[in-house]
């Protein structure tokens, strides 16, 4: 798997969050504030690098002060307002617990740029872009809030989804004096070398599709060869019209980009397999995988018939509203508003998440995990060298976490491919896990919806009782 694929995959976490704003029953509000944050937490010199403005969002409407809690969302890879718009659960919980709501932006994303517009200029400017520095930002901000707008007696609970969930869990592990517990939703803290096999992710995508009918993943698996066949027979124009592409397929690289974009469509729909319609690039129907696999349940008579079905199925994601002019494979069909820069760098340094596919246990083409190729890419792109074992060395492997950590609630959706790198079972009396059998990517953090399944509601009610214990 090429490194750019990995980057796209993780970027999707953000994108899926973006789309979730729609099914809100009421508008959740906040005030935007800025905190003067240290550029380098490990620099004690008088003439240090100085500070930058870290953005955070605050809502104190439910907060009663004193011993009442602070709910602190540990921002992940994107503009913090996206996460605030898509974590409706915090407002519901804050009302119940009389809590103060904070959403803190992750450095190098949104408006929280340590060196302003120069933050991505070169690897000296990027040197402070680490998860450790981000966690120290959160600790520093929490101490400031307790000393000013909140109370020093207020227990802090960390919340986060996806990479934000990893940060919540890591915040509790590294700074147990700062947060009393963490609600880590769809947090793949084990999606790293030596902890999770690289095939797991793609085999779960396939399982989610197969869960609706067995023809669906078979048709998808057969489509790759059919698509390549058209190109090899010298008919790129046929591909362009079949998939309503914006641009011609001029060479093998562009053919691979088309394949990668379609690949991303299937992955995204597994992550966004929510029980109600969501709005993203036009609308996505309720249960998009079921909807798509209904189209792909047939046994087409030949390759042309197969590709007609595939094109129709791809459009469930790219063109459900029927008004998208053409399929832009240059961005994999992603919204242009999202910048890939930040996550690209993080996956080239600390977030090395191996992925591969074998074409047998999954519905994708064979793609090996190639750490050396990725290293070459990262050196070329950022003059940075990825550290394959950073996560395990920094936070410990499975046994160390089970022994040393406490007060973390891990939730995962069984339909979500990221669940493969997540914590699915209770590790100790204070490390809880819940798998939402019909859930997708951090569906439980979203605002309650009339279509929520029993399992989604159960995940939230367990969270409520755990938080009650942590803050009492």
> At its nearest, how many Å lie between ligand NAG and the CB of residue 351?
23
Residue 318 touching ligand NAG (CB under 6 A):
yes
- Which lies closer to ligand NAG via its Cβ, residue 258 or residue 431? 258
> At its nearest, how many Å lie between ligand NAG and the CB of residue 107?
17
Burial class from Cβ neighbours inside 10 Å (0-12, 13-18, 19+) for residue 310 reads buried
Site map (CB under 6 A) of ligand NAG, residues 92-131, x = contact: --------------------------x--xx-xx------
Whether 416 is catalytic is yes
Whether 137 is catalytic is no
- Which lies closer to ligand NAG via its Cβ, residue 180 or residue 415? 415
- Which lies closer to ligand NAG via its Cβ, residue 180 or residue 239? 239
Residue 419 touching ligand NAG (CB under 6 A):
no
Number of residues in contact with ligand NAG, rule: CB under 6 A?
Answer: 20
**CA–CA distances in Å: residue 43 to residues 34, 112, 116, 228:** 21, 19, 20, 53
- Which lies closer to ligand NAG via its Cβ, residue 130 or residue 315? 315
- Which lies closer to ligand NAG via its Cβ, residue 52 or residue 395? 52
Question: Which residues 433-452 are close enough to bind ligand NAG by CB under 6 A?
Answer: 438
Which position among 119, 441, 444, 452 bears the catalytic label?
441
DSSP per-residue codes, 404-447: H--SEEEEEETT-GGGGGS--S--BTTEEEEEETT--TTGGGSP
- Which lies closer to ligand NAG via its Cβ, residue 286 or residue 366? 286
**CA–CA distances in Å: residue 443 to residues 16, 17, 102, 252:** 10, 9, 20, 38
Question: Which residues 227-266 are close enough to bind ligand NAG by CB under 6 A?
Answer: 244
Give phi and psi for 65, each to the nearest 5: 70, -160
Residue 212 touching ligand NAG (CB under 6 A):
yes
Question: Which residues 341-400 are close enough to bind ligand NAG by CB under 6 A?
Answer: none
d(CA 324, CA 335): 12
> At its nearest, how many Å lie between ligand NAG and the CB of residue 319?
4
Burial class from Cβ neighbours inside 10 Å (0-12, 13-18, 19+) for residue 185 reads buried
Give phi and psi for 121, each to the nearest 5: -65, -40
Where would I find the H helices in 44-128? 80-85, 88-97
Residue 19 touching ligand NAG (CB under 6 A):
no
d(CA 300, CA 307): 9
Q: Which one of 324, 402, 433, 455 is in contact with ligand NAG (CB under 6 A)?
A: 324
Tokens standing for residue 165:
């969930």
Residue 39 touching ligand NAG (CB under 6 A):
no
Tell whether the torsion through CA atoms of 444, 196, 164 and 330 is positive or negative: negative
Which position among 79, 137, 344, 416 bears the catalytic label?
416
> At its nearest, how many Å lie between ligand NAG and the CB of residue 249?
15
Residue 31: beta bridge partners? 58
Residue 326 touching ligand NAG (CB under 6 A):
yes
Residue 469 touching ligand NAG (CB under 6 A):
no
Q: In this structure, are residues 50 and 67 in contact, taking their beta carbons and an 8 Å threshold?
A: no
Q: Which residue has the tokens 């240290």?
A: 38
Q: Which residue has the tokens 């704003």?
A: 21
Question: Which residues 280-309 are close enough to bind ligand NAG by CB under 6 A?
Answer: 287, 290
- Which lies closer to ligand NAG via its Cβ, residue 56 or residue 209? 209
DSSP per-residue codes, 345-392: HHHTTT------B-SSSSSS--B---HHHHHHHHHHHHS----TTHHH
Q: Report the interface residues with ligand NAG, using CB under 6 A.
A: 118, 121-122, 124-125, 208, 211-212, 244, 287, 290, 315, 318-319, 322, 324, 326-327, 415, 438
Residues carrying an active site annotation: 162, 416, 441
């Amino acid at each position: 798997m090429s490194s750019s694929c990995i980057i796209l995959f993780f970027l999707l976490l953000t994108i899926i969050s973006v789309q979730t704003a729609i099914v809100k029953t009421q508008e959740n509000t906040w005030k935007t504030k800025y905190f003067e944050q240290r550029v380098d937490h490990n620099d004690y010199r008088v003439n240090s690098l100085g500070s930058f403005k870290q953005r955070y969002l605050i809502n104190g409407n439910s907060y009663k002060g004193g011993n009442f809690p602070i709910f602190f969302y540990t921002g992940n890879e994107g503009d913090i307002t996206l996460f605030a718009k898509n974590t409706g659960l915090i407002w519901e919980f804050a009302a119940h617990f009389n809590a103060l709501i904070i959403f803190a932006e992750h450095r190098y994303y949104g408006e929280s740029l340590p060196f302003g517009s120069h933050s991505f200029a070169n690897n000296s400017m990027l040197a402070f872009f680490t998860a450790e520095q981000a966690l120290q930002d959160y600790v520093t901000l929490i101490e400031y809030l307790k000393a000013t707008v909140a109370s020093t007696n207020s227990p802090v609970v960390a919340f986060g989804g996806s990479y934000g969930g990893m940060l919540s869990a890591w915040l509790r592990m590294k700074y147990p004096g700062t947060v009393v517990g963490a609600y880590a939703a769809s947090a793949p803290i084990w999606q790293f070398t030596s902890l999770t096999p690289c095939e797991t992710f793609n085999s779960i995508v396939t399982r989610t599709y197969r869960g609706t009918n067995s023809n669906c993943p078979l048709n998808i698996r057969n489509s790759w060869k059919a698509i390549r066949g058209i190109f090899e027979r010298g008919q790129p124009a046929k591909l362009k019209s079949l998939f309503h592409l914006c641009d011609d397929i001029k060479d093998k690289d562009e053919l691979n980009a088309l394949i990668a974009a379609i690949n991303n469509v299937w992955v995204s729909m597994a992550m966004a397999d929510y029980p109600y319609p969501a709005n993203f690039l036009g609308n996505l129907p309720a249960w998009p995988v079921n909807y798509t696999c209904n189209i792909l349940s047939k046994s087409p008579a030949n390759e042309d018939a197969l590709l007609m079905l595939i094109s129709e199925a791809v459009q469930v994601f790219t063109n459900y509203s029927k008004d998208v002019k053409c399929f832009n494979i240059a961005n994999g069909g992603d919204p242009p508003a999202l910048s890939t820069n930040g996550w690209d760098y993080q996956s080239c340094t600390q977030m090395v998440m191996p992925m591969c596919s074998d074409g047998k246990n999954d519905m994708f083409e064979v793609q090996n995990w190639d750490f050396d190729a990725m290293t070459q890419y990262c050196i070329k792109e950022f003059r940075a060298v990825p550290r394959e074992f950073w996560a395990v060395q920094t936070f410990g492997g499975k046994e160390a976490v089970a022994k040393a950590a406490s007060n973390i609630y891990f939730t995962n959706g069984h339909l979500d491919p990221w669940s493969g790198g997540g914590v699915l079972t209770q590790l100790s009396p204070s490390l809880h896990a819940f798998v939402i059998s019909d859930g997708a990517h951090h569906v439980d953090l979203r605002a309650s919806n009339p279509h929520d399944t029993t399992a989604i509601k159960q995940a939230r009610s367990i969270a409520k009782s755990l938080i009650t214990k942590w803050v009492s």
